[in-house]
Each structure stands twice: as C-alpha cells, then as structure tokens.
Amino acid sequence: MKDAMNAEGPPLESLTRRLAECPPEFLDEPRIGKKGRVSVAAVVGDLLVELGGGPLAPSQADAFEPGEGNKDRNRLRLILIACWMLHDSWFRERRAFAHSALRLLSTGLNESAELTPASKFIADSDRREELARLCLGALGLRPAGESEAQAQDRLATLNTAERQRVIRAAREAEARAQQIREAMARKAAEEAADKWGRE
C-alpha cells in the first residue's frame, strides 16, 4: 500500500537544491568498526531532537549500527544524506516529523540503498528528486503545489525500486509465457506424432 501524501510539504525544488548542496561532512565515511568518521546513530539522534522527538533509545540506535560489507556502508551513507535533507528549516520549524523520520531512516531507505549508490542521490537530478519524494511520502507529505495523485504518479515514475519490481515481474511473466508456449508446442508435436502413428 502506498503512503498517503495528504498534507502539503515544502517546494520540491528547495529540497533537490539542498541535496545538490550537501556538505562534505554528510558525505564523509560512516563509522564502521574502527574505520570511518561519522557516527550515523549520533547524526540521526540529533536530527530527531530537531524534528521534535526525544533522543534515540539504545534499541533504536541499533538500526544505525553498521553490519558487514559495502552494502551496509551504502545504506548508512544514504541515511546521512537523507538526514541532511530532513534538517531543512521547513521540517525543523514544524517539530512534528520525528516519529515518521525515524521509521524512514531505520528501514525506509534500505531498498534504495541496495539498488543505487548513495552518491547518485547527490549527483543525479532524477535521483535527487526520487530521494526528496521518498522522504516526503514517508512523512505523509507531497511537494507544494502538487495534488496527491500527481505526487504518487511522479514518485512511481522515478522510484528505482518500483521500476526494478516492474522489470522483474515483466521478465517473470515472459518466462512463464515462454514455458507455456514450449509446453503447447510439445503437446502439439506429441499429438501430431500420435496421429501419424495411428495412420
């Protein structure tokens, strides 16, 4: 089920510009073991307080502790980029988005991080728009000036994970159709052979 985007948020252009201007500190290496410089849990905790929530509980901080491998590194980097975007004054002034932001940052970006290098969400204009729209949707918001239907349609168009699901489903449907065609061809060949055998 799609998230409801029933409240108007900030202008999309301000968020994509903010992403394009992401400072180097948010692009620094997340701390994984003894390597890296940025504690992702600390950044998330600070953001949540700014958004009107309380500090991260230890059990909540576990979602931002690194696992093994490069895949988790990319996820942590994407979380840092999303934190930068959500630190925009539009969100901080309302002090109402901490709970939704925690849910988004804990698990809502995992699929995007598996499919796209975090740096593309800064460097590529479509990926900046995708991230801004993903974040807004997770907060129950749509870009200023758009209807909910427009916002949903545009997000569906840009969403890398959704596009991958559609491609995968199309491939699976084509594979099933090919199996059916092959089975029908085998059956027709068997029937033809039976007919010739009887004559």
What's the pLDDT at 186? 82
Q: 32 and 130 in one domain?
A: yes
**Domains in the chain, number:** 2
Contact 19, 131 (CB under 8 A): yes
Contact 105, 44 (CB under 8 A): yes
pLDDT reading at 1 higher than 50? no
How many whole angstroms separate alpha carbon 148 and alpha carbon 110?
A: 24
Q: 170 and 90 in one domain?
A: no
Domain end, chosen from 151, 169, 186, is at 151
Q: 147 and 67 in one domain?
A: yes
Q: 182 and 141 in one domain?
A: no
What's the pLDDT at 6? 86
What's the pLDDT at 161? 65
What is the average pLDDT across 185-195?
A: 78
The 10s digit of each residue's pLDDT in 143-180 is: 999 999 999 998 888 887 666 665 666 677 777 777 88
Q: Percent of the chain having pLDDT more than 90?
A: 64
What's the pLDDT at 193? 75
What is the average pLDDT across 3-30?
A: 93
Confidence of residue 3 (pLDDT cuts 50, 70, 90): low
N- to C-terminal Cα separation, the chain? 59
SS3 content of the chain, % helix, strand, coil (to 5): 70, 5, 25
Q: Which residue has the tokens 């129950």?
A: 140
Confidence of residue 49 (pLDDT cuts 50, 70, 90): very high
pLDDT reading at 70 higher than 70? no
Residue 52 included in any domain: yes
What residues make up the domain containing 118?
A: 7-151
Residue 176 included in any domain: yes
Q: 131 and 72 in one domain?
A: yes
Residue 172 included in any domain: yes
Q: 116 and 61 in one domain?
A: yes
Residue 66 included in any domain: yes
Residue 128 included in any domain: yes
pLDDT reading at 196 higher than 90? no
Domain end, chosen from 117, 132, 151, is at 151
Q: 163 and 146 in one domain?
A: no
Q: 168 and 138 in one domain?
A: no
Burial 95-108 (b: 16+ CB within 10 A, else e): eebbebbbebbbeb
What sign does the dihedral 191-196-197-199 (CA atoms) show? Answer: positive
Residue 2 included in any domain: no
Residue 1 included in any domain: no
Q: 20 and 37 in one domain?
A: yes
Q: Which residues contact 152 (CB under 8 A, 6 or more apart)?
A: 2, 5
Q: 181 and 110 in one domain?
A: no
The 10s digit of each residue's pLDDT in 106-140 is: 999 999 999 999 999 999 999 999 999 999 999 99
Q: Percent of the chain having pLDDT more than 70?
A: 90
Q: 121 and 77 in one domain?
A: yes
